[in-house]
């Protein structure tokens, strides 16, 4: 069991280190200079709905093999031939200049830079108190995973490195640890269409570009997304059609996230308020009008001070 998840065990401290470096290099100095008086408790209260919802969907997709076996789903179809008919061996040209150094570099991009882009986008949106963008990112993230999941079960497409004779599965040949780690979530290496790497990275790029003012991180996200897309075909994993489908999925999910964010989180907050009332979860804040300390339900949204009647928009992650 330990050896199966060794890749994850190795990646976690590296991602933590990259996140620390990212905070010091990618967040503007003027933003870091702003002081926000948010307690650890308030941060946990505000962040847990985002983390839990995204994590549960992630675990759902990672448990694909177990779910398929439990439900007894048998899919004999293989749609790889259709992609081969449409684009042929176009992706083989991306390995025409392959070198060991380039292969290791793209392996790092595919595994680490992609993971960092997802994690650090969450971090930077919270750090900058960009609640709307954080909500949109979370919604789009969930839509992408839930949309891709049925395709991976019912529309299997084999990776190019195992489907084309002139394409080498460079990523899986790098190390047995990588091969075992990937097979935990994709046992038969046929979860190609649509590409989650393309969908998630393009979606994250759109959120960063259109919903933030973080110019340095915009450049990083753009360069990283381009490198991630290139790595997926260079390493013998995805077809061009996978990337196109992933990009389309990113556009659609981002559109729905922006358009329906208010409706979705209005309903979600109602559920959270009921849970917080039943569990007795409260937060203490100071009124912006009379400076009196008042007790509030964390996800109530609008708070009225019982002392002076001051009305305040409140969210644990943005109220200071």
Residue extents of the structural domains in the chain: 6-271, 282-320
Q: What is the mean pLDDT of residues 288-312?
A: 88
Residue whose C-alpha is closest to residue 256's, from 317, 196, 192, 203: 203
Percent of the chain with pLDDT over 70: 96
pLDDT tier at 1 (50, 70, 90 boundaries)?
A: very low
pLDDT tens digits for range 170-188: 999 988 888 888 877 777 7
The answer to whether residue 109 scores a pLDDT higher than 80 is yes
Q: Which residue has the tokens 């990337």?
A: 243
Among 52-66, 84-98, 203-217, 259-273, where is mean pLDDT lowest?
52-66
Would you say residue 253 has pLDDT above 70?
yes
284 in Cβ contact with 293 (< 8 Å): yes
Instruction: Return the half-sphere exposure (C-beta side, CA atoms, 13 A cut-off) of residue 274.
Output: 5
> Which residue stretches of the chain are H helix?
6-26, 29-32, 40-62, 64-71, 80-87, 100-108, 114-127, 131-154, 160-163, 170-174, 176-185, 196-211, 215-234, 240-279
Rounded distance between C-alpha atoms, residue 237 and residue 241, angstroms: 12
pLDDT for residue 36: 60
Contacts of 246 (CB under 8 A, 6+ apart): 194, 195, 196, 197, 198, 199, 202
Record the pTM: 0.91
> Is residue 21 over pLDDT 50?
yes
Contact 142, 196 (CB under 8 A): no
204 pLDDT more than 90: yes
For the chain, the first-to-last Cα distance in angstroms comes to 45
Name the percent of the chain lying above pLDDT 90.
55
**Cα Rg of the chain (Å, integer):** 22
Cα 233 from Cα 230, distance rounded (Å): 6
- Give residue-wise pLDDT tens across range 141-176: 999 999 999 999 889 999 999 999 999 999 999 888
- Tens-digit pLDDT profile for residues 41-73: 888 888 888 888 888 887 877 777 777 777 777
């Amino acid at each position: 069991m330990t050896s199966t998840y060794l890749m994850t065990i190795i990646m976690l401290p590296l991602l933590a280190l990259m996140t620390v470096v990212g905070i010091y290099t990618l967040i503007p100095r003027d933003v870091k200079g702003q002081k926000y008086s948010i307690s650890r408790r308030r941060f946990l209260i505000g962040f847990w709905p985002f983390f839990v919802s995204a994590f549960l969907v992630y675990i759902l997709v990672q448990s694909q093999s177990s779910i398929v076996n439990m439900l007894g789903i048998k899919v004999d179809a293989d749609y790889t031939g259709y992609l081969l008919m449409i684009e042929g061996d176009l992706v083989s040209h991306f390995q025409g200049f392959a070198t060991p150094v380039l292969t290791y570099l793209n392996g790092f991009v595919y595994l680490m830079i992609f993971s960092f882009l997802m994690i650090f986008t969450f971090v930077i949106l919270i750090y900058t108190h960009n609640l709307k963008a954080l909500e949109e990112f979370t919604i789009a993230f969930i839509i992408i995973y839930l949309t891709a999941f049925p395709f991976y079960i019912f529309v299997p497409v084999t990776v190019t490195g195992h489907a084309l004779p002139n394409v080498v599965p460079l990523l899986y040949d790098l190390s047995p640890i990588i091969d075992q780690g990937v097979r935990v979530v994709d046992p038969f290496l046929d979860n190609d269409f649509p590409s989650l790497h393309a969908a998630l990275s393009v979606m994250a790029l759109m959120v960063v570009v259109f919903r933030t003012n973080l110019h340095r991180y915009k450049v990083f996200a753009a360069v990283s997304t381009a490198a991630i897309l290139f790595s997926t075909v260079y390493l013998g994993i995805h077809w061009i059609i996978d990337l196109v489908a992933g990009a389309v999925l990113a556009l659609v999910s981002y559109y729905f996230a922006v358009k329906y964010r208010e409706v979705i989180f209005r309903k979600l907050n109602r559920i959270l308020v009921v849970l917080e009332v039943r569990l007795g979860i409260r937060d203490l804040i100071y009124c912006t009008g009379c400076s009196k300390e008042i007790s509030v339900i964390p996800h109530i949204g609008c708070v009225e001070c019982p002392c002076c009647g001051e009305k305040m928009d409140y969210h644990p992650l943005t109220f200071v």
